[in-house]
Amino acid sequence: MGSENDLLGRFFMEHPVCASATVVPERADNPRIAFLNLFHEPRPESQGTIFNALIKTTERFQRQHRILNSAVYVIDHDSEFSERLMAAVRMRQALHEGRIPEECLGETLKVPANFRSVATAAYGRYVRYGAARRRLGLKVQAETVPNPDSRVTLSEKRDAFGALVAKLDWKLTELDRRAMDVVIDTITEEFSRLALAKLERDQWMNDAPESFPEDMRGGVHHIGTTRMSRNPADVVVNEDCRLHAVDNLYIAGSSVFPTNSWANPTLTICRLAIRLGEHLKQLWRSRGA
């Protein structure tokens, strides 16, 4: 159901979330605390809630530079991972996936050579979360291109209940990366103009224009795969979240979003569910139920 035009599972989108630069404040008097307070200003209405202030691109800026939507924020962050520390990350990922790491011997030998940083990072992640964070990082949360080749399919593996396990092929494009470059360059210029800070770009940002950091993750915001439109040839559901090919099957969630912007989708999902509930109630009443 929903796969009549081979669109079910396609156009998977996520928010790339990654540290892109180190912020070096201009102020010398306890600069780390002073700079964080600038972006974490306490407000009475917050009632103790921790929040981040984000700097986002305007629609005019996006059109001018022909880039996707994105935002950045300043946050306590781990130091940029060294190649030896990344070897430990790759080994852990391989073991988690039940496979032997590529270049197993070489990767294994890299870890003892920098054991202290590996142990510190592990302690900061698994024992005392955030303890290894010693830098001010500029972090990007970005929009991605709706790409039909970025998709979710079913693998041949089965879970403990016998159901087929999903297989994700998340594909990012050069346009996804270019937006990050433009935003970081602009923030660098603006921080310098305001005498706030200097930015030291992470190494991955100096690599090829289509590259991303090896330890990059998504924002746990799974979007797309059952996109919405009135034209059944292009999507899976219509404007009422109903499958075009099935009269009584509806989907309410971020999977129906045609694009993903940069922002967390939770409140939009909630509003979409309420909207669908209102639609179904009206439909029920119109049928005299």
Output the pTM of the full model.
Answer: 0.78
pLDDT for 108 equals 54
Helix (H) / strand (E) element for 266: namely helix 266-286
DSSP-assigned letter for residue 112? H
Q: Kindly report, residue by residue over 105-146, the tens digit of the pLDDT.
A: 455 555 555 555 555 555 455 544 445 556 788 889 999 999
Helices (H), strands (E): how many in the chain? 7, 8
pLDDT, tens digit, 9 for 90 and up, residues 49-108? 666 778 899 999 999 999 999 999 888 776 666 565 566 666 666 666 666 666 654 555
Q: What is the pLDDT of residue 40?
A: 58
For the chain, the domains span: 16-78+133-286
The pLDDT score that the predictor gives to residue 269 is 96
Cα-to-chain-centroid distance, residue 2? 26
Task: Count the neighbouring beta carbons within 10 Å of the beta carbon of residue 261.
Answer: 21
| Higher-confidence position of 76 and 176 | 176
